[in-house]
A and B are shown apart, each in its own frame.
Chain A
Amino acid sequence: MSDAALLPQDDPAFVADPTVEVADLSVWFGPKVALSELSCSFGPGVTGLLGPNGAGKTTLMRAITGLLGPNAGSVRVSGRNPRTDREVHRALALVPEDEAVPGVLTARQLVRYVSRLHGANDPAVVDGALETVGLLDVADRRVRGFSKGMRQRTKVAAALVTEPSILVLDEPLNGADPVQRAHLIALFRRLGSEGRTVIVSSHVLHEVERLAERQIVLLRGRLAAAGDHHAIRDAMADRPRRVLVRTAATRPLAAALLELDAVSSVSIDGDNLVVSSTRARDVAVALPRLARSVEARLEEVRPLDDSLESMFRELVR
């Protein structure tokens, strides 16, 4: 399937009020192409950046923040080039995936340093950023002794201390425990709801589903899909969706289902039927009627592949 075929008609790769615009962006490292003619935009709210390893997520984030220059195409942040216009960085912050932090500094010293680089020198703001990520009580400990999750939160605090209107977070939940994850997800959602542009990449896909109302999916440096995950699923209408049906009367119900045009295939695994269909809605409408006709009791009906994980599997297939 072509990339274009995956996209809904109104091109959800772009937003109406963009703060970050990516146009025909290509980045390569020697012979390796990391991003290829990528075009999309980001606006206020939380956008999830998804893709398997090597898809180009980190490269895109580094290009957006100006750490990497494009080999072709352009990136505009609030209408400016982040590579050449350093004023962009007043409103832009990055939490990189790398664990690297200046270990000899304390968390407070690092956050204060970033604050002072932005021309501010208010200890209350520094403490506020540390408190937001739950590190105020260990703020005077050296970062070198921090766990991975604490280092990650230190970087989030260093990003938040500048009050950025555009926040780029590369795998920000790495190393965080479940309580911290929930806390950070709530924080990022709140930042998005305040009208900030929050771009989050993550491999923890169910958390992205909770976190981001909009997703951009990259595959091998190209845009694979965009929109919310339901919209992306709808855009993949020509790929079969799988529905699990649990019933004791598997064989009669399977026979009845196979008579439907909407059903591509049915497989039986014990008490489970796995129904593949390109028109899942039609199957959902017909299923109760068919079950009654063969006197089958439906114990469970649920889509097997409505998550982002399954979406990935479909896209990379």
Chain B
Amino acid sequence: MTAATAVLGYTLRACLPLRRWWLLALPCVGAVLFGLLARVSEDTPERAFAQVAALGLFALLIPIACLVIGDAVLGAEIRAGTFHFTWLSPAPVRTIVAGRWLGGWLVALVTLVPAVALSAVVAGSPQSAWAMVVATAAASAAYLGLFVLVGCVARRAAVWSLAIVFLIERLLGAALSGIAQLSPMWEGRAVFAGLAPGAQELERKGVPDGWAGVVRLAVITLATLALASWRLRHLRLTGASD
């Protein structure tokens, strides 16, 4: 337990310096601005916010905010050459991975989730806020698992993460429901579609929505964390200078 809390505390304190918090503030502010944007639509507030959520929040701001956090909790540290302080310990690798992920998720829960809930309120659709909270919490959990995994696999984790979001999820996921089923972006949107009033038109055939989508995102989270643990055991830590 000491090791797990140590990893969690270190993640919150050392992996997310002030600069990262400022970087994270941008998508959070952007989420609220998207809420304002929904107000200019002539549609009902629920439908207008659903469109903004689909195109602005799930497709852009949530992935970017999660990328900022997810890269910070592991990939950035491996690149910086300071990860050995954690790796060279008897703490199990799964504890390290889970601690890093949990630290990142807690940050998402206290920044991104309130921001998207506020976005719904600002859009004039407060009844969509709770669906947005559930969908964002579940999607950010899966995204952080994915980005922790990318941090273990690729040296340029941020670049690869962006490529996954915009090329694989956004482009391929739009065309292929098989990819959308495994995509935090599309699954998060489907969770919102199944739970929020006036968002049914966002539902997509073959992609589980509502609480089934939450379960799917939980499975994605667990799978990515398991893969990250396996990868971390086989990682060659060569140091920042190499």
Residues of A within 8 A of B (CB): 29, 58, 62, 65-69, 84, 86-87, 89-90, 92-94, 96-98, 100-105, 109-110, 113-114, 116-121, 158
Contacts and interface: CB of A to CB of B under 8 A. Distances in A.
Contacts of B238: 29, 62, 67-68
14 contacts: A29-B238, A67-B87, A67-B237, A86-B91, A92-B88, A96-B81, A97-B239, A98-B239, A102-B77, A102-B82, A113-B6, A113-B85, A116-B3, A117-B89
Contacts of A120: 2
Interface string B208-242: 00000000000000000000000001101111111
Nearest to B85: A114
Q: Which of B77, B88, B233, B234 has the most CB of A within 10 A?
A: B88
Contacts of A109: 13-14
A39 B69 CA distance: 43
Given A96-B84, A109-B13, A119-B2, A58 B239 contact: yes
A4 B35 CA distance: 75
A298 B154 CA distance: 67
Given A100-B82, A104-B14, A117 B236 contact: no
Contacts of B88: 65-67, 89, 92-94
Given A86-B91, A104-B13, A116-B3, A67 B81 contact: no
Contacts of A93: 88
B90 interface: yes
Given A68-B238, A96-B239, A104 B17 contact: yes
Contacts of B10: 102, 113
A286 B3 CA distance: 68
Contacts of A87: 90
Contact of A86 (B2, B77, B85, B90): B90
Closest 6 pairs (CB-CB, A-B): A116-B6, A117-B89, A100-B81, A67-B237, A102-B14, A98-B81
A94 B6 contact: no
A107 to B, nearest CB: 13
Contact of B85 (A65, A102, A103): A102
B14 A86 contact: no
Contacts of B93: 86
Interface in B63-107: 77, 80-82, 84-93
B122 interface: no
B79 to A, nearest CB: 10
Contacts of B7: 117
A62 B13 contact: no
A39 to B, nearest CB: 21
B237 A68 contact: yes
Nearest to B233: A84
A75 to B, nearest CB: 14
B107 to A, nearest CB: 15
Given A92-B88, A102-B14, 14 more contacts: A29-B238, A29-B242, A67-B238, A97-B239, A100-B80, A102-B82, A103-B17, A104-B13, A104-B18, A114-B85, A116-B6, A117-B3, A117-B6, A118-B3
A57 to B, nearest CB: 13
Contacts of A68: 236-238
Contacts of B91: 86, 117
A117 B86 contact: yes
A65 B77 CA distance: 19
Nearest to B18: A104
Nearest to A168: B88
A121 B4 CA distance: 13
Contacts of A69: 234, 236
Contacts of A65: 88
B90 A100 contact: no
B84 A94 contact: yes
A112 to B, nearest CB: 8
B173 to A, nearest CB: 34
Contacts of A96: 81, 84, 239
Contacts of A100: 80-82, 239-240
Nearest to A111: B85
A105 B13 contact: yes
Nearest to A88: B90
Interface in B119-157: none
Interface string B1-36: 011011101100110011000000000000000000
A121 B2 contact: yes
A36 to B, nearest CB: 17
Contacts of A105: 13-14
B89 A89 contact: yes
Contacts of A94: 84, 88
B234 to A, nearest CB: 7
A269 to B, nearest CB: 42
A158 B5 contact: no
Contacts of A104: 13-14, 17-18
Nearest to A67: B237
